[in-house]
Amino acid sequence: MDDTDRLLLTLIQREFPLSERPYAEIAEKAGVAESEAIARIEAMREEGFIRRMGASLNPRALGYVSTLAAARVAPGKIDSAAEYVNRFVEVTHNYERDDAFNMWFTVIARDEAAVAAIIDDIRNNSGADEVIDLPATHIFKIKVNFDLTK
């Protein structure tokens, strides 16, 4: 990746235009031709720097309910607990972390009852010693785009 690639990648993360020729607008900001912007971005996608081009929707605005849960799992049981947890399509992310609460996962579903049922199921059946439910009470910031030009 050169500086132009990094600038393009920063621009298309930040605000990809909802217009007929979005790459023409991006290209203009980056000072290259539309065809060059498209070729460079396609190359970055083929090389795997770009995972997806598209929209991220706001689950809350669409009526979905989500939570973050922390589980305390005996070290030898992490793999089997993760296997149990990951089977739920409503579990979108799951990480092993270096803490007594060592498995952290997000649950997103159509309503609170559905989320509660999944947490309860995992609490009772995954082999975790303890599961705490940590739904957000306030969202201060969600920013998933990164400035790669610095």
Residue 59 in the binding site for other proteins (CB under 8 A) = yes
C-alpha span between 136 and 132 (Å, rounded): 13
Residue 2 in the binding site for other proteins (CB under 8 A) = no
Residue closer to other proteins by CB (options 76, 142) is 142
Binding test (CB under 8 A) with other proteins, winner from 29, 36, 50, 116: 50
Residue 84 in the binding site for other proteins (CB under 8 A) = no
Long-range CB contact pairs, 131-140, < 8 A, 24+: 131/69, 131/70, 131/71, 131/72, 132/69, 132/70, 132/71, 132/101, 133/67, 133/69, 134/67, 134/68, 134/69, 134/70, 135/65, 135/66, 135/67, 135/68, 136/66, 136/67, 136/68
| Subset of residues 97 to 136 that bind other proteins, contact rule: CB under 8 A | 97-99, 101-105, 108, 110, 130, 132, 134-136
Binding test (CB under 8 A) with other proteins, winner from 3, 33, 147, 149: 147
Least CB distance to other proteins at residue 68 (A): 7
Least CB distance to other proteins at residue 123 (A): 13
